[in-house]
């Protein structure tokens, strides 16, 4: 089964069982400071899982583009991928465990759909702990479906529990489905979830039935939700009997193009295969990030920094394959063609993607020259060291300050009969990661899961800011991302020039005038087509008949949004712009507070 067929079968199955197909959302999360990218299919639906009514109803299904960046250094092995697609279906207070598990079982085993061998199916359920009892209900449902007890595994919270998204909120046990690949067990303790490869995870059903409170205790919720996920890449890998996602049609055209440029084919030289996979993965992820409706450009901040890392890592491995000249734009052409029908926005943003790859490759090559120059300046002192070792902290400084790869420092050192202290470099790198992690944990306090009064106010204020920027700067202004917590808002928008003090004051005054006018905030549900006809602000990527929420702030702003919002602008207080700065090429960033 190919990826296109899997996507269609999945959506058709759940639509036939009363689910409404909704459009997948942007890779750039709306208003959420907890993560840089959309990491799972349920991520854009957190507000609705929290209780916001969804305009499409209580049974939903979609295909969601996702990016996970915590495994960037692992990409290159046969299974990790930065970009992936997640198939999902949700019940928002509608059906619960029995119906969810029965539908999962039917889709997996029915010859009309995946037709997998029931005898190879193993499942896991939550074993229970001091916070919540064992999920005996799921256990009995699986037994009733014919799964023998010896293939129903009770596992602890680290294996079979999801959430909450923040420190508090909806969470609950999950039940995962695995196919036995037939490989030999790695030992007596081998079970689903083991990393040896015997069990292949195919699906996960999360049952959000608990609310974690601020005191750390868990209470049962009246409104229970189901969130499920099936990865497209991993599932077709298994269905096609492949050993790696890189052996499927979602990667082979890219790998073929890399081979053409490198003058050697993928798998012809095992020592080069890792570089092939890294380039293919990073080129695809970067193309998806820049080609997204809310796409970002390479920069030294947030998503732009991750994008820059992906591009530069791909360029480094291109050098290992002796690919000459700029090459990522050529791979982008292949990727855009591969996904043209599924994600038409890529073709629409083709010129931007190609040009940004070219700019970034050129800049990185310049960076490498600077790094080489810095190394040459350090060389006289380094050569005085009788041990002929470049200190790890020196190698890390070249990496951190100039983006100079450790491997290239090793190469330059070797030219002068020196080695590099890898252990010292790793130690400096680890300290850097710990500092970054602490910073990230500070950001994780808010997010879509934080429907606090202040977050709701800031959410509403972004609508006013967006409209004011368009009025003052021009219609070219478009939202390129927002980040909200209970303390401030951050708003990225397309604009090439630094705003003048006069422009900033005009925008600030305009927002405050609307707040002082005590304008009512109202909402109507309508189709995408109707919202367009009204002139509502939005990145219209959904289907014309898809239901959306349109929020009206008096006669000042009309915008498609998921919510939540205040009822009257008088609730917002005074709007103050604290900072206006560059975010990336052609994108500015405003930070503002409500006093």
> Residues annotated in the binding site for Zn(2+), as ranges?
459, 463, 561, 565
Q: Which of 231, 228, 212 is nearest to 220 (CA)?
A: 212
Q: Are 43 and 35 in contact (CB under 8 A)?
A: yes
Beta bridge partners of 525: 549
Beta bridge partners of 591: 490, 579
Q: Which long-range contacts (C-beta less than 8 Å, at least 24 apart) are formed by 17-20?
A: 17/59, 17/103, 18/59, 19/59, 19/60, 19/61, 19/89, 19/90, 20/56, 20/57, 20/59, 20/60, 20/61, 20/547
User: How buried is residue 434: exposed, middle or buried, by Cβ count under 10 Å (0-12/13-18/19+)?
Assistant: exposed
Q: Which long-range contacts (C-beta less than 8 Å, at least 24 apart) are formed by 179-185?
A: 179/116, 179/117, 179/120, 179/121, 179/122, 179/238, 180/120, 180/121, 180/122, 181/238, 182/120
Question: Where is the binding site, in residues?
Answer: 459, 463, 561, 565
Q: Are 250 and 233 in contact (CB under 8 A)?
A: yes
Question: What's the Rg (C-alpha) of the chain?
Answer: 26
Q: How far apart are CA 6 and CA 1, in angstroms?
A: 7
Q: How far apart are CA 390 and CA 525, in angstroms?
A: 64
Distance of CA 120 to the CA centre of its chain: 31
Read out DSSP for 88-143? EEEEESS--HHHHHHHHHHHHH-TTTT---GGGEEEEEE---SSS---HHHHHHHH
Distance of CA 227 to the CA centre of its chain: 17
In the DSSP assignment, the letter for residue 499 is P
Overall size of the chain counted in residues:
595
Tell how strand 389-390 and strand 419-420 pair up: parallel
- Give, in order, the Cα–Cα distances in Å from 460 to each of 451, 469, 559, 564, 575: 12, 15, 10, 8, 11
Other Cβ atoms closer than 10 A to 4: 13
In the DSSP assignment, the letter for residue 173 is E
Ramachandran bin of 489, using left for φ above 0, alpha for ψ from -120 to 50, beta for the remaining angles:
beta
Q: Which of 331, 330, 321 is nearest to 262 (CA)?
A: 321
In the DSSP assignment, the letter for residue 341 is T
């Amino acid at each position: 089964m190919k990826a296109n067929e899997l996507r269609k079968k999945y959506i058709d199955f759940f639509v036939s069982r009363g689910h409404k197909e909704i459009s997948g959302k942007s890779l750039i999360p709306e208003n959420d400071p907890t993560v840089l990218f959309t990491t799972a299919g349920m991520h854009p639906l957190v507000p609705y899982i929290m209780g916001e009514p969804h305009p499409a109803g209580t049974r939903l299904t979609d295909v969601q583009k996702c990016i996970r960046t915590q495994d960037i250094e692992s990409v290159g092995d046969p299974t990790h991928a930065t970009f992936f697609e997640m198939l999902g279906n949700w019940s928002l207070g509608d059906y619960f465990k029995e119906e969810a598990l029965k539908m999962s079982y039917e889709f997996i085993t029915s010859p009309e759909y995946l037709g997998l061998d029931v005898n190879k199916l193993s499942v896991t359920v939550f074993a229970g702990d001091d916070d919540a009892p064992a999920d005996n209900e799921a256990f009995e449902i699986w037994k009733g479906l014919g799964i023998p007890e010896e293939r129903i595994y009770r596992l602890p919270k680290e294996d079979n529990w999801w959430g909450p998204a923040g420190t508090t909120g909806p969470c609950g046990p999950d039940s995962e489905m695995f196919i036995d690949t037939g490989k030999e067990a790695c030992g007596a303790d081998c079970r689903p979830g083991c990393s040896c490869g015997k069990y292949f995870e195919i699906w996960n059903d999360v049952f959000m039935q608990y609310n974690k409170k601020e005191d750390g205790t868990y209470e049962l919720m009246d409104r229970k939700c189901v969130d499920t996920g099936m990865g497209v890449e991993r599932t077709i890998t298994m269905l096609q009997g492949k050993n790696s996602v890189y052996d499927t049609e979602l990667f082979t055209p890219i790998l073929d193009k890399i081979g053409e440029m490198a003058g050697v084919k993928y798998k012809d030289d095992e020592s080069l295969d890792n570089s092939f996979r890294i380039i293919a993965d990073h080129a695809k992820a970067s193309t998806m990030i820049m080609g997204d409706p809310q796409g970002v450009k390479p920069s030294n901040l947030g998503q732009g920094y991750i994008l820059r890392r992906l591009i530069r890592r791909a360029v480094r491995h291109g050098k290992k394959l002796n690919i000459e000249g700029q090459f990522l734009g050529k791979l982008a052409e292949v990727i855009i063609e591969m996904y043209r029908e599924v994600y038409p926005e890529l073709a629409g943003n083709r010129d931007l993607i190609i040009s940004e790859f070219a700019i970034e490759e050129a800049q990185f090559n310049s960076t490498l020259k600077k790094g080489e120059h810095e190394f040459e300046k350090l060389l006289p002192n380094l050569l005085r060291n009788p041990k002929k070792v470049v200190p790890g902290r020196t190698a890390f400084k070249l990496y951190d300050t100039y983006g100079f790869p450790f491997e290239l420092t090793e190469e330059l050192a070797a030219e002068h009969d020196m080695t590099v202290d890898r252990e010292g470099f790793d130690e400096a790198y680890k300290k850097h990661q710990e500092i970054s992690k602490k910073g990230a944990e500070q950001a994780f306090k808010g997010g879509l899961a934080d429907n606090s009064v202040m977050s709701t106010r800031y959410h509403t204020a972004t609508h006013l800011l967006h409209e004011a920027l368009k009025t003052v700067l021009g219609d070219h202004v478009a939202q390129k991302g927002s980040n909200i917590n209970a303390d401030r808002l951050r708003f990225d928008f397309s604009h090439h020039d630094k705003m003048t003090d006069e422009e900033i004051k005009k925008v600030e005054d305009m927002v405050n005038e609307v707040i002082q006018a005590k304008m009512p905030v109202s909402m109507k549900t309508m189709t995408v087509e109707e919202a367009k006809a009204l002139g509502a602000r939005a990145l219209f990527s959904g289907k014309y008949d898809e239901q959306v929420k349109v929020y009206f702030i008096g006669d000042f702003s009309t915008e498609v949004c998921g919510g939540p919002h205040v009822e009257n602008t008088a609730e917002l207080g005074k709007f103050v712009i604290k900072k206006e700065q560059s975010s990336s090429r052609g994108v500015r960033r405003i930070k503002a507070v409500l006093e």
